[in-house]
Chain A
Amino acid sequence: MDCRETREFMSALVDNQIDDETKRKVEEHIWRCATCRNEFELEKKTKQIIKSNIKLLPVPNELVTTILTQIKLLQNGYNPHLRAIEGTSTKPWFEFAFTFGIVVVVLTLAILLTSIYENKMAQKELVAREVSGLINYFDSVAKGMAKPEILSGDFNYLQNQLILKSSFQPIVPHIPEFKLVGASINTGHSPGDAQCVNLLYQKDDKIILFHQAPLHRASMHEDVKKRILKGEWIYDTIEDESFAIWGTKELICCVVSNLSRDELERVLKQSW
């Protein structure tokens, strides 16, 4: 065996992934040839240094959870009962059936997401960015892609469940004409154990999703935070959805709805 052939089996020799016959030949050459011997030693060291420095990382827990949840969600898509609902004449908004809810989907809500925003981003766009994750979630709920984990028409039951399960004291307001139909507690949109609470209100084909999280744990853009801390209620729209965002002393609140912007403002003013 010559140098060239030896090089072809160099890695195989280092890893001992080589048949005995070839191994014997390669070793024989290496024994005689100082250059190949050197090359072999270097490759062996290289492998060692990679192996000892780059260790296998554990799979993040939340990745497993997300995948399992998404699989369940996909599985729910197979649910024959859902087909029946699709066939009825309900508005597309209401293709979701509260009664089948077992799973809540924690889609990554970006509202509290720590993101690096460009400094000069316009205020409107800035606010939209803060809310877009929630809009996504809202959209998923409305389309039956996601279901609140607590489903009940009983206001007191929902309120009790929320107080039991959430890590902070949530607000559970009455919204005139709307009925509280579901709630979910999401973890994990920002690092740590930050929790937020979503309440789902319904009136015919209109939905209001009320999202709240502890203000001190909310990592949001400073400009938006400043406006909210000053007591401002920001109203705006993203495509078909309207939203409002404001703060209390302890909480950051955000509402997304398929009401028009003005209707939403009117309804919220009646409730607070």
Chain B
Amino acid sequence: MKLKDKIEKLIKKEKRDKKLTDEELQKRQREFEKEALPHMLLLYNYAYRMTGNEEDAKDLVQETYLKAFRFWDQYEPGTNIRAWLFKIMKNSYINKYRKATKEPGKVDYDEVQNFYETVRDESFESSDLQEHIFENIFEDEIIEALGKLPDEFRTVVILADIEGLSYEEIADFLDIPIGTVRSRLHRGRKMLRKQLYEFAKRKGYIKGSPEDYEIDEPDKD
């Protein structure tokens, strides 16, 4: 649906549902602008890192704010507005991008599992290697590596490392326990490191195969 059709539909619905006076309307708008607009930086950056480009990020933020304004009455004052806005955006993102690329649900989960299995193999890094992994890494490569993470993992990395949110807030944003935030972040960073390792290998900073540097998998204390 085109944006203008959307707006039109919203207006029609609002007209039907609400019989607010001009004053109430203006108050509502002022309130919304005061409360919601300051969080655009957080939302825009999340959208940018998830979609990977400015245009899509702008669309996503725009859609989020229009929806938020439309449903402003459902926001409970005093609760975390960032989480509320973020959830609206996350839904829009899923509707827009997830469906287009793959079936939701199981397929996604399998992919994540596979990814995790490969990362679980810790042999790709050892103390001998770590300096090389982080040597000569370019910003572009880090962005590319981030873009390769599955959505679930990318999300926590963005929120924690780029946006600087607390684990508690991330848990609130995503409706997951703090323990899950911890493990996703740990794994997410590891996946990213694995990507950086691949880049370093490709560029020849690291020679040989990971097996050469194999270390014992620690399962015991």
CB proximity to A under 8 Å, residues B131-158: 134, 137, 139, 142-143, 146, 157
> A145 touching B44 by the CB < 8 A rule?
no
Tell me, yes or no, whether A268 is within 8 Å of chain B by CB.
no
Q: A8 is contacted by which of B146, B183, B220 (Cβ under 8 Å)?
A: B183
Min CB–CB distance A191 → chain B (angstroms): 11
B167-205 contacts to A (CB < 8 Å) = 167-168, 179, 182-183, 185-186, 189-190, 192-193, 196
| A136-B4 in contact (CB<8A) | yes
Asked if residues B179 and A54 are in contact (CB atoms below 8 Å), the reply is no
B94 part of interface (Cβ distance < 8 Å): no
Judge whether A36 and B218 touch: CB under 8 Å: yes
Flag B1-30 by CB within 8 Å of A: 1 or 0 each: 011100110111011001011100110010
Name the one of A33, A56, A143 contacting B8, with C-beta atoms under 8 angstroms: A143
Contact count band on B:
35 or more
Q: Which residues of B contact A83 (CB under 8 A)?
A: 15
Residues from 24 to 77 in B contacting A, C-beta threshold 8 Å:
25-26, 29, 32-33, 37, 40-41, 44-45, 48-49, 54, 58, 61-62, 65-66, 69-70
Shortest distance between the CB of A72 and any CB in chain B (Å) = 8
Question: In the docked arrangement, what's the CA distance between A79 and B8, Å?
Answer: 14
A119 at the interface (CB under 8 A from B): no
A223 within 8 A of B: no
Contact assessment for B62 and A75 in the assembled complex, using a CB-CB cutoff below 8 Å = no
Q: How far is the CA of A59 from the CA of B146 in the complex (A)?
A: 21
Q: Please state if B162 and A56 are interface contacts (CB–CB under 8 Å).
A: yes
Decide yes or no whether B209 CB sits under 8 A from chain A: no
Is A149 part of the binding interface, using a Cβ–Cβ cutoff of 8 Å? no
| Residue from A7, A42, A59 in contact with B130 in the complex, judged by beta carbons closer than 8 Å | A42
Complex formed: what's the CA distance from A145 to B7 in Å?
A: 8
Chain B residues with Cβ below 8 Å from A39 are 122
Q: Does B95 contact A (CB under 8 A)?
A: no
Are A50 and B61 interface neighbours, CB within 8 A?
no
Please tell me if B126 contacts chain A, counting CB pairs below 8 Å.
Answer: yes
- If A63-B61, A66-B62, A77-B10 touch, whether A50 touches B4 (CB-CB below 8 Å) is no
> Which residues of A are found within 8 Å of B25, using beta-carbon distances?
75, 78
Asked if B219 CB lies within 8 Å of chain A CBs, one says: yes
Please tell me which one of the listed residues A1, A53, A58, A80 contacts residue B142 in the complex, with CB atoms under 8 A apart: A53
User: At the interface, yes or no: A12 with Cβ under 8 Å from chain B?
Assistant: yes
Known interface pairs A9-B182, A107-B4; A63-B40 also in contact (CB < 8 Å): yes
Please determine whether A71 and B127 come into contact, CB atoms closer than 8 angstroms: no
> Which residue of B4, B40, B61, B146 contacts A54 across the interface (Cβ within 8 Å)?
B146
Q: Given known contacts A39-B122, A58-B41, A63-B40, what 14 new A-B pairs fall within 8 Å (CB)? A: A3-B218, A7-B186, A8-B179, A15-B185, A17-B167, A50-B192, A54-B146, A56-B163, A57-B48, A64-B40, A68-B33, A71-B29, A74-B10, A136-B4
30 A–B contacts from the bound complex (CB under 8 Å): A8-B183, A10-B186, A11-B182, A11-B183, A15-B185, A38-B127, A50-B157, A50-B189, A51-B162, A53-B137, A53-B142, A54-B49, A54-B146, A59-B44, A59-B61, A63-B40, A64-B40, A67-B37, A70-B62, A70-B65, A71-B66, A74-B66, A77-B7, A78-B14, A78-B18, A78-B20, A79-B22, A80-B21, A136-B2, A145-B8
A interface residues (Cβ-Cβ under 8 A, vs B)? 1-4, 7-12, 15, 17, 29, 33, 35-36, 38-39, 41-43, 45-47, 49-51, 53-60, 63-64, 66-68, 70-75, 77-80, 82-83, 107, 136, 139-140, 143, 145
- Name B's A-contacting residues (CB within 8 A): 2-4, 7-8, 10-12, 14-15, 18, 20-22, 25-26, 29, 32-33, 37, 40-41, 44-45, 48-49, 54, 58, 61-62, 65-66, 69-70, 122, 125-127, 130, 134, 137, 139, 142-143, 146, 157, 160-163, 166-168, 179, 182-183, 185-186, 189-190, 192-193, 196, 215-216, 218-221
